A and B are shown apart, each in its own frame.
Chain A
């Protein structure tokens, strides 16, 4: 799991500074004052990891083999939860909904954020101001975003359909039609591409100008420079954002919870909504744990898929082609 964040990349960059300290290494066998201090300082984190991450993960794995309606103690049911899960049509439906959403919102979000960053990277006046404006939606909480867009998507008199009518288009009933509800959520997610744009802009500004100059001397046009300098140099950042974006999108909750509650006809039943209902509404903690593990492995599998594919398209400067 650790290699997903590619620790070696920054470890290599910082290794020369670290590990120079001598002292403590000499006395093996008992704890030096330095080691005692270190363990005291990481103590809270270690405790947190054991009590809030590792412990709960193990507990949740055990719980997923039990029936646990909270009010009564858990009873062992073996693989029954997982069997139920296979026949729970809503699991398939919610996985489908969540996957379609992630597969459209994440690439579209990255592409438009990257496009905004490319525009911002041009020699323009007032770049700081424009950047500030694009980032503003990221300051709005999920609940507030949901409420605003609930109003905008209203049919027939919401802002979006009113504007569409002004140009002669009859918009769909965004949140009430099965075909329109996921596109509505994707559209809403695109409001927040500014945060990504800031990341890409910083990346673009970090590309050495010599590379562009060398390419220009070789007669490369604008498109060739973009294709063979900008894209390869940006690919690690795009890759990282892709992984984080997929993880985030698969865990979408507050938007659909507040705006549609999964409707119409489960067309926006995101996975987390299904999990929340089972665990905290129906208090099926055992089944909820099984659902959580399915999401966990689904996220891991998709992440792994992206990592595997990364060696084909992610370029790390100074390492040649490697993932």
Chain B
């Protein structure tokens, strides 16, 4: 069916409108990023100059080394990595173990317990906050990484279990049967067959755990007190409190703090999108 010229024109108008709206939206989304980078290279007096100074003039790269000299930013980043590392290990291991049992094994209690997993998916965490704090205090764990790390080894998140279970279910059971004939135990099937075949789902879990751990603010805020143990989220806030007028340096540290996640997102975009879509569409 050939398009009439008026239809063609309507189509062209529509396409143009779509592009214009999308580009306008992209400008609004990227503007704060642009502003963060631009500000971090500005002289102090130029940060709030009017008219707005888009390109830093003079260009002050020294904000970065000065910010690093003011507070142990490198230390904060390292601490964040340490916490994130152990959380990733804990969540990946314990949630994949549970997911395997829920997806592939036959046992009494499987269905009701899985309903409990799903229920915790919707549970707001505030009611457990205070008793957990008191328990960790009684254990003498305050101002250590244990309250942040140990829970990760106890099942990870309900979302992780759910995502991995759904993925494990798609792996052909014939592989299990073949392995069983070869004398493989169920634990060996989990470790040697299911895990290696589930790399995409595992990577998704690892990336989200790392990201969540990197961004966590409330946990470190209530459990950590010594500056030398701070992760970057607390470090950023401390930096802002100490130099609350020096926005160029604050933005320099902010930029440094988000770069690891941006890099992670750039390389792992496929897995991020899969994970986000999974939570939204399949959940």
List residues of A whose CB falls within 8 A of some B CB.
Answer: 1-2, 4-5, 7, 10, 14, 17-18, 20-21, 23-25, 33-35, 37-39, 41-42, 44-49, 51-53, 55-57, 59-61, 63, 70, 116, 119-120, 122-124, 130-137, 139-144, 147-152, 154, 157-159, 162-163, 165-166, 191, 194-196, 198-200, 202-203, 206, 237, 240-241, 243-244, 247, 250-251, 253-254, 258, 272, 275, 279-280, 285, 288-289, 292-293, 295-296, 299, 303
Contact = CB atoms under 8 A, between A and B. Distances in A.
Contacts of B185: 37
A116 B258 contact: no
Interface stretch (B55-63, B64-72, B91-99, B197-205): B91-99
Interface in B198-225: 211, 214-215, 217-218, 222
B280 A199 contact: yes
10 contacts: A25-B106, A41-B100, A42-B101, A44-B153, A52-B128, A53-B120, A56-B129, A122-B15, A131-B273, A292-B127
Q: Is the interface of B mostly helix, strand, loop or mixed?
A: helix
Given A49-B120, A132-B269, 18 more contacts: A5-B122, A35-B106, A41-B98, A41-B105, A42-B113, A60-B128, A130-B22, A136-B33, A139-B258, A141-B217, A141-B233, A141-B258, A143-B237, A147-B251, A150-B240, A157-B48, A285-B130, A296-B126
Contacts of A158: 48
Interface string B111-135: 0010111111111111111111111
Contacts of B153: 44
B21 interface: yes
B169 interface: yes
B101 A38 contact: yes
Contact of B169 (A14, A35, A122): A14
B273 A198 contact: yes
A141 B217 CA distance: 9
A249 B186 CA distance: 43
B124 to A, nearest CB: 5
A140 B48 contact: no
B50 A157 contact: yes
Contact of A119 (B18, B110, B130, B272): B18
Highest count of chain A CB atoms <10 Å: which of B22, B30, B279: B22
B119 A41 contact: no
A37 B106 CA distance: 10
Given A147-B240, A296-B126, A116 B25 contact: yes
Contact of A45 (B36, B161, B277): B161
A166 B187 contact: no
Contacts of B214: 141
Given A48-B151, A139-B265, A124 B281 contact: no
B29 A136 contact: yes
Contacts of B122: 1, 4-5, 243, 247, 303
Contacts of A285: 130, 133-134
B82 interface: no
Contacts of B276: 195, 198-199
Given A38-B101, A198-B277, A206-B281, A144 B131 contact: no
Contact of B257 (A42, A116, A144, A163): A144
A241 B236 CA distance: 30
Contacts of B161: 45
A195 B113 CA distance: 30
B7 interface: no
| 6 interchain residue pairs of minimum CB distance | A48-B154, A199-B280, A45-B155, A141-B215, A157-B48, A56-B128
Contacts of B51: 162, 166
B151 A56 contact: no
Contacts of A51: 154
Nearest to A289: B130
Contact of B127 (A48, A60, A241): A60
B238 to A, nearest CB: 10
B217 A254 contact: yes
A49 B158 CA distance: 10
A141 B261 contact: yes
A25 B105 CA distance: 11
A51 B155 CA distance: 11
A157 to B, nearest CB: 4
Nearest to B262: A139
B236 A151 contact: no
B107 to A, nearest CB: 4
A258 B128 CA distance: 23
A149 B251 CA distance: 11
Contacts of B240: 147, 150, 258
A56 B131 contact: yes
Nearest to B137: A70
Highest count of chain A CB atoms <10 Å: which of B190, B211, B240: B240
Contacts of B101: 37-39, 41-42
